[in-house]
Chain A
Amino acid sequence: MNLASQVFYLGRRSVIRILRQPANWVFPLIFPLALMAVNTGGLHAATNLPGFPSDSFLAFFLAFPFIQGALFATVNAGVDLARDIQTGFLNRLALTPMRSGALLAGHLAGVIAVGAVQALWYLTVGIVVGVRFESGALGAFVIFVLAVLIVFAFGSFGALAALRTGSTEAVHSLFPLFFVFLFISSMNLPRNLIETDWFRIAASLNPVSYLIEAIRSLVIEGWNAEALALGFGIAITLSIVGLTLSSLALRGRMSRT
């Protein structure tokens, strides 16, 4: 069996496993949108602040579900990989001629498939509830591509956590940490309108702010080269770093087994 087939079978296994656990796909589809509804209803008055970049808080906030959905997908997939380690599946796999890279690629293919479905869902809901994309249909496509890239980047860190710890509990405990990155960002207000100095500095140092702002720019501004370059640049950098570290972790894990 060649590498592509190995990746295909492991990716298919990853997707089927997610589909068999409704909590792993229903929650990421519903919960970010519920939070979006609550925040939009609660903070729509913020659009009256001088300098607020949009007159629709819903359009401003639409970037949020993409990032939160990516976090859910990452943690769920990381937990599945950690379970493979705990149950000995990885050990049994190591006895077969499968290449270790196929395991990681197959796992990430499953994460990407879930991320792609989520991104399409959030885009569809956004359009249905009346968000107008300033960058047009092409912009919506770019949002989809960036969202999938973000899922891949986060997913590689989820895999890293699973491979390093081999514990579902440890991967679960990463969720609050990811949540901190999401909340201490420009998700609720643009950075120039964040009044508290330390929070604005933390949000400016936080890469998640730039991922949100890249998606947001396509919704409310149109084509903002700087925001897109930062968003794609950070997503690609995170992907490379995450993939490199998780490959090293996998090598260590396989040699131990």
Chain B
Amino acid sequence: MRQLVSVTNAVAWRMLHNNFTTPSLLIPGLVFPLFFFTAFAGGLSRVNDVPGFRFPVGYTAFQFVFVLLQSAAFAGVFTGFGIVRDFESGFIRRLMLAAPDRRGILLGYTLGALGRWLVTATVLTTVAVVVGMQVGGNGVDLFALYALAVLVNFCGLLWSAGVAMRLRSLQAGPVMQLPVFLCLFFAPVFVPVSLLAGWLQVIAHLNPVTLLLESGRSMIAGDPTHVAAAFAAALALVAAFSVWAVRGLRKAEAAGG
């Protein structure tokens, strides 16, 4: 156990250190969510007036939840890019030789992705509050919203880690990014499901991100609905992607890092 913890801490520390001391890694992770938040909440606020659109705490909060979950997922995916870089530079090969418990490598990256996202989430939340976002939920609701986002962050990281450990090349970038992007955007991003076009409504109903998004929005509005279902779905996804990532780790081990 101590060996697992020491490998986890070392990998997580390295990941965070690299991220916060390299502007080209740090800045996009901070700027992109803010940019999406600005573009969607600012540019589309009039959507609040569309007949049938009802969200009691306003369009800024409606978009905030989407951008929060999106930033969580992409913090995981961008950490996956770091894993690929570590493969290409040969760092993971050396790490695998040195690590007494290699599951710690995966756990370390997971913690690194979480640390990375927590900073983004803090900046995003601060900006949202400063621009006057209304919040209807109480402390428990908000805690649940951020806990849901943490699970989304784990999903993003575990998915991309699984891809990175199988492909071990920067060519893996689009494979990591595109499915996450599609899952996020084939959900009710701009309006509730009931106002989506028919074909998108069908896809959105099948997309688990819709459940997470709607539940997250209900939490910020102070009227939590489908919370248990959303957490169950998120935990199931984390479990499935954990298996995917661990099997990827085994494949990387078999391939000699």
* A38 adjacent to B186 (CB under 8 Å): yes
In the assembled complex, B2 has its CB within 8 A of some CB on chain A: no
In the assembled complex, A42 has its CB within 8 A of some CB on chain B: yes
* B52 adjacent to A45 (CB under 8 Å): yes
CA separation between A203 and B42, bound complex, in Å?
A: 11
The answer to whether residues A188 and B32 also contact, given A42-B188, A43-B191, A173-B24 and a CB cut-off of 8 A, is no
| The stretch of A81-89, A157-165, A192-200, A211-219 that contacts the partner chain | A192-200
In the assembled complex, B35 has its CB within 8 A of some CB on chain A: yes
Residue in A39, A41, A176, A196 whose beta carbon sits within 8 Å of that of B32 in the complex = A176
* A183 adjacent to B174 (CB under 8 Å): no
A169-203 CB mask vs B (1 if < 8 Å, else 0) is: 10001001001100110001100011110110001
Interface of B is mostly: helix
CA separation between A43 and B185, bound complex, in Å?
A: 12
| 8 A Cβ contacts from B18-51 to A | 24, 28, 31-32, 35-36, 38-39, 42-47, 49-51
Please give, as numbers and ranges, the residues of chain A lying within 8 Å of B185 by CB-CB distance.
35, 38
- Most chain A CB inside 10 Å of its own CB: which residue of B35, B38, B43, B191: B43
| The stretch of B136-144, B192-200, B236-244 that contacts the partner chain | B192-200
Query: Nearest Cβ distance between residue A28 and chain B, in whole angstroms?
Result: 13
CA separation between A198 and B190, bound complex, in Å?
A: 20
CA separation between A35 and B197, bound complex, in Å?
A: 14
| 8 A Cβ contacts from A133-185 to B | 169, 173, 176, 179-180, 183-184
A interface, size bucket = 20 to 34
* B44 adjacent to A44 (CB under 8 Å): no
Across the two chains, which residue of chain A brings its CB closest to B46? A195
B interface, size bucket = 20 to 34
CA separation between A45 and B201, bound complex, in Å?
A: 12
In the assembled complex, A54 has its CB within 8 A of some CB on chain B: no
Please give, as numbers and ranges, the residues of chain B lying within 8 Å of A183 by CB-CB distance.
35-36, 39, 43
Please give, as numbers and ranges, the residues of chain B lying within 8 Å of A45 by CB-CB distance.
47, 50-53, 191, 195-196
* B42 adjacent to A38 (CB under 8 Å): no
* B200 adjacent to A199 (CB under 8 Å): no
Please give, as numbers and ranges, the residues of chain B lying within 8 Å of A39 by CB-CB distance.
190
Query: Nearest Cβ distance between residue B145 and chain A, in whole angstroms?
Result: 22
* A176 adjacent to B45 (CB under 8 Å): no
Residue in A27, A43, A176, A195 whose beta carbon sits within 8 Å of that of B190 in the complex = A43
In the assembled complex, B189 has its CB within 8 A of some CB on chain A: yes
- Most chain A CB inside 10 Å of its own CB: which residue of B46, B49, B174, B200: B46
Known A38-B189, A41-B197, A203-B43; 11 more pairs at CB < 8 Å:
A23-B174, A38-B186, A42-B189, A43-B190, A45-B195, A46-B50, A180-B35, A183-B43, A188-B43, A189-B44, A195-B46
Q: Which residues of A contact B (CB under 8 A)?
A: 23, 27, 34-35, 38-46, 48-49, 169, 173, 176, 179-180, 183-184, 188-189, 193-196, 198-199, 203
25 residue pairs of the A-B complex, CB under 8 angstroms, read: A35-B185, A38-B186, A40-B197, A42-B189, A42-B191, A42-B196, A42-B200, A43-B44, A43-B47, A45-B50, A45-B51, A45-B52, A48-B50, A48-B51, A49-B50, A176-B28, A176-B31, A176-B35, A183-B36, A184-B39, A184-B43, A189-B43, A194-B43, A195-B45, A199-B43
Q: Which residues of B contact A (CB under 8 A)?
A: 24, 28, 31-32, 35-36, 38-39, 42-47, 49-53, 174, 182, 185-186, 188-191, 195-197, 199-200
